[in-house]
Amino acid sequence: MKPYRPSNTVPGTGWVWLLALSTLGGVVVGGAIAFIARWLYLLLIFPALMGFTSGGSTAIAIKRGKVRNPWVGLLFGLLTGLITYGSYQGGEYFFTQQSFAKQIEAEFGQDIDPAEANALIDAFWQEQTGSSGFLGYLKYAAKQGISIGRVGSSGDGLPLNETFTWLYWLIELAIIEAISLAIAKPAAEEPFCETCEQWYAQGQRIGTVADDRSEIFLNTVQADQMVQAATYIQAKTVAHPRLEVDLRQCSGCDRGEVALEVQRYSENKEGEGKRSQVLMGMLSHRQSLQLSEAVSASSESDHKPESDANESDASQEG
Ligand SMILES: [Zn+2]
């Protein structure tokens, strides 16, 4: 079976979607987190949240903009994460500046105008760190050090010195980027019909494969032996861990290539389901018919139709 290869096309509207959602999504989410962080900052959870929104908004732009280039998806996942975190730190900068301005106002009275106050703040950062503006603020904040540990209070908890504060910020950024990339890149690797200019429809489940037959099933699929592969597929949903076998097609043309998607499904002790893609490849129209007909033929001969076992399983997590 040949793998699915994206065409790497990025239409003009795709760039517009990517640029719009990466800046908009980044600024809105980063700004909102900076606002909330004045009262409460959740370690790991907020960076993870920023990662999910970065990846999610990039994935929406990819779908809407019909972006079929995984590298562009990766790049914008990265960029959106950077804009989000930059906006968060930028928001912190803005709010710190505001509270400094209030202090100055309290000291000098109302007759000092905002521009003068800002100049004073810049001069302060310049004096403390050798840089003014946003960079001056960052260096100053790092010098002050942050403290981590107690949720919602900056007073107690584990204080971090300058080096560890920079390191901690770097870790936050890494968390955001890792999650963002993991969501954005696969979105651009989904099968797309270049004739109809649309994404393939959601998968049609043809059956599941029990764990002990997974390996041989995957091998026979890779070797293009569809009739034999079909003998390992059961039309009913077998116990987890299992492989779930779906066929995906373009809804616009019914003669085109069909994508075969195989996902592994397992549940942990708490019953939370997890799906991960094992295989995505292209079948000719004839091969896909061969496969689905062989599965339904074998299930008819094996079982009496007791209940609709092909119906969806309980948890659609993931
Ligand atoms: Zn099509």
- Cα torsion through 131, 132, 133, 136, rounded to 10: 40
Distance 198 CA to ligand 1 centre (A): 7
The answer to whether residues 27 and 58 belong to one domain is yes
Give residue 192 CA to ligand 1 midpoint distance, Å.
Answer: 8
pLDDT at res. 79? 97
Provide the number of structural domains found in the chain. 2
Q: What share of the chain is helix, strand, coil (3-state, %, to 5)?
A: 55, 15, 30
Whether residue 155 is contained in a domain is answered as yes
Interval between CA 126 and ligand 1 midpoint (Å): 60
Using the mean position of ligand 1's atoms as its centre, give its distance from the Cα of residue 56 in Å: 26
Inside any domain, residue 318? no
Q: What is the pLDDT of residues 14-42, one digit of tens each?
A: 999 999 999 999 999 999 999 999 888 88
The closest of 92, 87, 95, 93 to 173, measured between CA atoms, is 87
Query: Do the domain assignments include residue 163?
Result: yes
Identify whether 258 is part of a domain. Answer: yes
Last residue of a domain, one of 156, 187, 218: 187
Say how far apart CA 81 and CA 26 lie, in whole Å: 7
CA angle 95, 96, 102 (to 5 degrees): 90
Q: What's the 241 CA to ligand 1 centre distance in angstroms? A: 33
Residue 307 pLDDT more than 60? no
* 275-295: average pLDDT: 90
| The pLDDT of residue 242 is above 90 | yes
Q: What is the per-residue pLDDT for 89?
A: 95
Q: Please give the average per-residue pLDDT across 304-317, as a whole number.
A: 46
Tokens 């929104």, residue located: 53
Query: At which of 163, 187, 211 does a domain end?
Result: 187
Same domain, 179 and 217: no
Q: Which residue has the higher pLDDT, 242 or 145?
A: 242
Ligand 1 center from residue 249 Cα (angstroms):
8
Amino acid identity of 279? L
pLDDT band, residue 318 (cuts 50/70/90): very low
On whether both 178 and 244 belong to a single domain, the answer is: no
Structural domain includes residue 315: no
| pLDDT tens sequence across 65-85 | 999 999 999 999 999 999 999
Residue 299 CA, ligand 1 centroid: distance in Å: 30
Domain boundary (187, 213, 247) is at 187
Q: How far is the CA of 69 from the centre of ligand 1 (A)?
A: 18
Query: Does any domain span residue 127?
Result: yes
> Contact 119/111 with Cβ under 8 angstroms?
no
Distance 193 CA to ligand 1 centre (A): 5
Query: Does 182 lie in the same domain as 138?
Result: yes
Decide if pLDDT at 294 tops 60.
yes
Q: Please give the distance, rounded to the nearest whole angstrom, from the Cα atom of residue 315 to the centre of ligand 1.
A: 30
Residues 6+ apart with CB under 8 A from 261: 203, 245, 246, 247, 248, 277, 279, 280
Q: Are residues 64 and 117 in the same domain?
A: yes
* CA 258 to ligand 1 centroid distance, Å: 10
pTM of the model: 0.83
pLDDT at residue 292, as a whole number: 87
d(CA 262, ligand 1 centre) in Å: 21
Tens digits of per-residue pLDDT, 186-222?
999 999 999 999 999 999 999 999 999 999 999 999 9
Which residue(s) pair with 273 in the sheet? 267
Q: Give 259 Cα–ligand 1 centroid separation in angstroms.
A: 12
3-state secondary structure of 40: coil
80 bridge partner residues? none
Residues 98, 216, single domain; the answer is no
CA distances from 114 to 98, 105, 119, 121 (A): 10, 9, 9, 10
Q: Are residues 8 and 137 in the same domain?
A: yes
Q: pLDDT for 122-181, tens place per residue?
A: 999 999 999 989 999 999 999 888 777 544 444 567 788 889 999 999 999 999 999 999
Higher pLDDT, 14 or 294: 14
Is pLDDT above 70 for 99?
Answer: yes
Mean of all residue pLDDT scores within the chain: 88
- Are 230 and 300 in contact, with CB atoms under 8 Å apart? no
Q: How far is the CA of 88 from the centre of ligand 1 (A)?
A: 42
> pLDDT confidence of 309, banded at 50, 70, 90?
very low
Domain of 145?
2-187
Q: Is the same domain home to 171 and 213?
A: no
Distance CA 181, CA 52 (A): 10
Q: Is residue 65 part of a domain?
A: yes
Same domain, 66 and 142: yes
- pLDDT at residue 282, as a whole number: 94
Ligand 1 mean position, distance from CA 268 (Å): 38
Residues 131 and 264 both lie in one domain: no
- pLDDT range class, residue 301, cuts 50, 70, 90: low
Task: Please check whether residue 309 lies inside any domain of the structure.
Answer: no
Same domain, 151 and 228: no
Surrounding ion ligand 1 within 5 Å at CB are 193, 195-196, 250, 252-253
Q: How far is the CA of 254 from the centre of ligand 1 (A)?
A: 7
Same domain, 77 and 177: yes
